[in-house]
Structure 1
Amino acid sequence: MVREDNCKVQRGSQHARSNVDRHEASLHSHSLSLEMLLHRLMTTDTKQDDTFVKILLMIGKFGTFQWRLVALTFIPNIMLAFFMFADTFMFTPQKSYCNTSWILALGPNLSEAEQLNLTVPRNSKGSFMTCHMYLPVSQDLDFIIQFGLNYTDTCQNGWIYPDTKKRSLINEFNLVCGMEPKMETVQATSLTGLLIGALFSGFISDKVGRQPVILLSLLGLIIFGFGTAFVNSFYQYLVFRFCASLAMASYTISSISLTTEWLRGEHRAHSTILGHCFFAVGIMLLTGLAYGLPHWRLLFLVGGMPTFLFISYIWILPESPQWLVVKGKVKEAQEVLCYAASVNKKTIPFNLLNEVRGSRPGVTKASVLDFCNNRQLFKVTLVMGGIWFAVSYNYFMLSLKMKELGMSIHFSHVIPGILKLPARLCCIFLLARMGRKWSLAVTLFPVTVISFLLLIFPEELNSMMILMVALGEFSLAITVTVLFIYTPELLPTVLRATGLGLVCLASMTGAILALTIIRYTPHFLPIFLSCVSAILAITFTSLLWETKDQPLSNSLEHFPLLRFNVTMTEDTLSGDVFEEAARNAILNTQIPRLDSSSDLSEEAARNTTLNTPTHTVSSTALKHFEDKEADSQAP
């Protein structure tokens, strides 16, 4: 009996193994068909990108049209730098005294020093008090000189600024004696404008196009940037600065998206580096004008006058053809491409131009929710957001540290501005040698080291601290340029501007956090957090992939979606519908169910299931695909 049972068990196990072999053979054939189907679908997905690359090559790698596009989009960076850092020169300290001109009615020939000596009380150190005055009396001047004045009160007729040679917001709106504006509040207002602009402008740019958002942003710079020279109160100034920051964030995101989608390879990187060089020039221009002009209104008038030239962009700035194709506006895309070719004196073959076609409905529809539903897109946005947060926090921490070290307001802007020019140019060699990913990691490493040294070095070594902060700003300038090149290349065209807006949102959050922590926490904590955030940013960089010399992704098809609920029938599998249904079938994968025999043991079934591929496609789709392949190979 035992032998018979053993034989039954052996025969049963042999039967189970034969069942497993049959299933493995069937799954192997399905796997081969699946590989063929995947190859077919990958070819279909990239065909449109290949066509676009060919057309851009036919137009010319970097001809007259590309040069003009770069100039049009990056010359405004000078104005962006001007308006972004103008607040620094608007609130220079002013020595104020109460306006006591009432005594001039008694003694019109009194000098300024005599007037102050008679009408302004002194503090315990012998200096004139800035917020108090002696009350007027009815006696004559000789009586006041002989006996003096006794009763004091706060300033009643405003203030005077005898030692001030320049007109700033302080003496324009009398922001003294308890009404002094906090620079943290002014900076937070501008950063909030940048934050909100980044949040909404990217979404709008992906919906209505790059060109309209750029034009609206430039209009905002004209109204709220140049218009700041005409405000009548400090609160109006804050409102105008907030709106100008909205325009600056919108322009930055949309212009980067536009140039990224027009240019290819190293030209894309070089154009971004050139744009950041324009930004550094804008900082130095602002510093020179602020040093030479005697009035803050003149600074905005003279510096903001070139913004009116941007009105011409209505007629000469092109739209992104990739965005037009993704949105199904094929005719407009073809017209823009033909215009670019005519500017470069090139010709696009008619048959190649006809291959440009809009994407099918339902494929390019995208929303902000895709940043949560698409696992790969969510990962990219989260990782890049963390890196942008760390870089922005470190940048503002070092900038505020430079001010704490006693640097003059002009010197602290000129030196970083000069250093940023060679820093941007270093990006050319880094990106050519190392690519995007390693360049980002290499430039973040010195920031980590410098933050650690600032944490352990004593503050008495003032010169050494200034040198380290300057080197840290130099390294961060390179990092920011690499980020502006790397981030758009990681995002698909259909959501590129929205993704840039989200990472810029993280950047502004890091800047606001830096302002808050530096003001309300002990001295060592901001630097310690700077070191930790830089280490985390380097770690996050390892999670990304290299994008150098890679084509841009147009749609979310290049990112694996979490789930698609699509039903497929044999009647729908024809032509483009077959490709769409097969694609959805592949993405809607599930664990295969094996029709195991009753003799197959539970253990063998479990092992068979675990050892088989998890990605399958319906038999109807595979059969139809194999039939199409056989028909295509038949003579």
Structure 2
Amino acid sequence: MIEEEHNSKPAFGFQNSRDTNRHEIPFPYHSWSLEMLLRRLKAMDAKRDDKLASVLDAVGEFGTFQWRLVALTFIPSMLSSYFMLSDHFMLTAQKPYCNTSWILAVGPNLSMEEQLNLTLPRAPNGSFLTCLMYIPVSWDLDSIIHFGLNYTETCKYGWIYPYAKTRSLINEFDLVCGNEPNKENMQTVFLAGILTGSLLFGFLSDKMGRSPTILVSLLGLLIFGFGTAFVNSFYQYLFFRFIVAQVAVGYAISSVSLVMEWLVGEHRAQAVILGHCFISVGIMFLSGCAYKIFHWRLLFLLGGVPMLPLISNIWVLRESPRWLMVKGKVEEARKVLCYAADVNKKTIPLNLLNELQLQGKKVTKASILDFYTNQHLFKVILSMACVWYTVSYIYITLSMKMKDLGVDNYFRQVIPGILEVPARLCCIVLLEHFGRKCSLFLSLTLATIICLLLLFLPQELKSTTILMVVLGEFSLAATITIFFIYTAELLPTVLRSTGLGMVSLAWAAGAITALAISNQIKTQLPIFFCCVSCVLALCFSSLVPETGNQPLRDSIEYTSRDSIESKRRSQDIAAMIIAEESMSDVVADEVTKNTILNAMPLKSEASRFPGTDLQELSSRKVPSL
């Protein structure tokens, strides 16, 4: 029906002969400006149907209120990465020796070297054994020196660390000589926190709102991040790390949802990109602090101090008007919009504000089951989960590769952290010129190429291998940023945070898979799996539509009519550009601009006068060349 109506009316004064071949018209790829203009025109066209987007334009696209909102999310992003990655510096290797201070009762003036020499057995290479000691005797010091001690036993009075320069979990809780922590168990506890936090906070953000969930997350970081400095046992430390993982991923989900729903156009992507840059800054800050600070408790205290002023300024945040609208809280949405306009020193026209009404006069309802029953949501979640699984698997595999190459722990954190900042900033240019879908495809393609090079690179070329791993992490940093922006725009407001939480499950699954394979297999097979997963992610990413700078979708309803209408508008505009270019190659760019600018009022006028023929309006408005 739609196609027949479309073919029966010539658009913008073009002849029917051109209209019949509309599906075969190629787009002029030789001009990036044409593609950018087309994308922006489509976004403006979609914005007309979104009343809230029009109100947000009146509030101010990026005024003082938006600056405060976005800036307040930067420091928590930095601190969440600070707390999440602190485990890398908590298990600094220490040289333990049995506590043999009993000998000081008969020789109080003994030096540490003399004490160890008299009370500890030696290995065949001459070094002191770390987990054995001579059995204490009731002799005097001269007898001990003269006859020596012969019988050994395991350490009975604890351990000492005479040559330790830092205080870590190892010498704090004596995690030595059979009490060593299982790093796989620590990583499992952390990933379990991400798994549960993704579902829990994703659901809470859609149920309670973005702002309360952010407040709960910040309180969790303050209590359990700062509070980690006061734990009394290693198991308490693991419990606190479990909660920190939950609240950190919860903050990431709800803050992205809030920022995306308050901002419009290209400002959404720029705000998320800058926030992700502060994640990299947090990694570098953590590495610098861990290098200088000698005690692990001070490291957590330093990270928790900035949380106090952040929570005291939480009043700056305002609930997302989009979330309020889909929950039927129209009056509250108008209040927060008026507050934002007042901060930006703008005035919202009263008639525009009164147009904010519930669609269909009812509250939009949705549940997690819609990701299974709704075909569009199922396709989005499946595709983006595959991409997120791939990114997680490759990132952890490359990190394990760096560790196997003997790279220093500080280098493994600082260098990728430095390179991730320009990688994320490059996303601004990529998203502006190529769009979300193509940018994601390009970053995944680069990661695939790097994994293929690593697969065939000889192991003897250690420096080259390290360089390729760093470049791989560079491309993955860009992929992560594009992924978050793209996924948040694909999901509807009513289930945006829940959807982000569900795809975060794939991140944990990818990390668990990478750890299991890398710990068991020391060949190039994990890198081969990286290549295979990249190819699969490229295939799945092609299934989701482009979002561009279009207004966010609020409801879960996504029918084929929407896609047909969008496709028809794109074809109309493309046909118009081609026709104008064919009239004059000399002034092609100028003609295209004039044509597009003239087409915008034409569409508006045609919508106001539905009985007027579009061809008549075109002949009246478009100047002849």
Q: Give the TM interval when normalised to the shorter protein.
A: 0.7 to 0.9
Q: 1 CA distance for matches of 2:2 and 2:145?
A: 111
| 8 Å Cα contact 2:46-2:551 kept in structure 1 | no
1:480–1:82: structure 2 CA closer, same or farther, 3 Å change rule? same
| Matched residue SS, 2:166 | coil
1:295 aligns with 2:295: yes
Residue 83 of structure 2 aligns with which residue?
A: 83
Residue 258 of structure 1 aligns with which residue?
A: 258
Structure 1 residues 24-423: aligned runs within 5 Å: 49-360=49-360, 364-423=364-423
- What is the CA distance between 1:205 and its match in structure 2? 0.9
**What is the aligned residue count?**
531
| 8 Å Cα contact 1:327-1:358 kept in structure 2 | no
Deviations 1:173-211 (A, max 9, x none): 000001111222212211211111111211121111111
| 8 Å Cα contact 1:165-1:294 kept in structure 2 | yes
| Matched residue SS, 1:302 | helix
Which residue identity is paired with 2:212? P
Q: 2 CA distance for matches of 1:503 and 1:81?
A: 19
| Matched residue SS, 2:91 | coil
Which residue identity is paired with 2:238? L
- What is the CA distance between 1:49 and its match in structure 2? 4.8
Q: 2 CA distance for matches of 1:522 and 1:398?
A: 13
Residue 508 of structure 1 aligns with which residue?
A: 508
**Could you state the TM-score of these two structures normalised by the residue count of structure 1?**
0.80
| Matched residue SS, 1:558 | coil
Structure 1 runs (4+) deviating above 4 angstroms are 28-33, 45-49
Task: Select between 514-523 and 440-449 the one with higher mean Cα deviation.
Answer: 514-523
1:30–1:544: structure 2 CA closer, same or farther, 3 Å change rule? closer
| 8 Å Cα contact 2:100-2:119 kept in structure 1 | yes
Residue 452 of structure 1 aligns with which residue?
A: 452
Residue 462 of structure 1 aligns with which residue?
A: 462
| Matched residue SS, 2:261 | helix
1:438 aligns with 2:438: yes
| 8 Å Cα contact 1:374-1:560 kept in structure 2 | no
The higher radius of gyration belongs to 1
Q: 2 CA distance for matches of 1:519 and 1:534?
A: 21
| Matched residue SS, 1:137 | coil
**Could you state the TM-score of these two structures normalised by the residue count of structure 2?**
0.82
Percent identity over the alignment? 61
Which residue identity is paired with 1:298? L
- What is the CA distance between 1:522 and its match in structure 2? 4.1
Deviations 1:549-573 (A, max 9, x none): 2121110123569xxxxxxxxxxxx
1:143–1:560: structure 2 CA closer, same or farther, 3 Å change rule? farther
1:559–1:238: structure 2 CA closer, same or farther, 3 Å change rule? farther
Q: 2 CA distance for matches of 1:541 and 1:50?
A: 27
Residue 517 of structure 1 aligns with which residue?
A: 517
| Matched residue SS, 1:297 | helix
Structure 1 residues 517-596: aligned runs within 5 Å: 517-559=517-559
Q: 1 CA distance for matches of 2:491 and 2:306?
A: 33
Deviations 1:284-310 (A, max 9, x none): 111111111111111111121101112
Deviations 1:305-325 (A, max 9, x none): 101112224422100001101
| 8 Å Cα contact 1:58-1:347 kept in structure 2 | yes
Q: For the aligned residues, what is the CA RMSD?
A: 2.4
| 8 Å Cα contact 2:48-2:54 kept in structure 1 | no
Deviations 1:431-465 (A, max 9, x none): 11111111111111121122222222232221111
Task: Provide structure 2 residue ranges, at least 5 long, that are not aligned to the other structure.
Answer: 10-44, 562-609, 613-625
Q: 1 CA distance for matches of 2:291 and 2:148?
A: 41
- What is the CA distance between 1:536 and its match in structure 2? 1.0
| Matched residue SS, 1:407 | coil
| Matched residue SS, 2:339 | helix
Residue 600 of structure 1 aligns with which residue?
A: none
Q: 2 CA distance for matches of 1:87 and 1:415?
A: 18
Residue 474 of structure 2 aligns with which residue?
A: 474
| 8 Å Cα contact 1:325-1:359 kept in structure 2 | no
1:387–1:94: structure 2 CA closer, same or farther, 3 Å change rule? same
1:359–1:559: structure 2 CA closer, same or farther, 3 Å change rule? same
| 8 Å Cα contact 1:120-1:128 kept in structure 2 | yes
- What is the CA distance between 1:525 and its match in structure 2? 2.2
Which residue identity is paired with 2:542? S
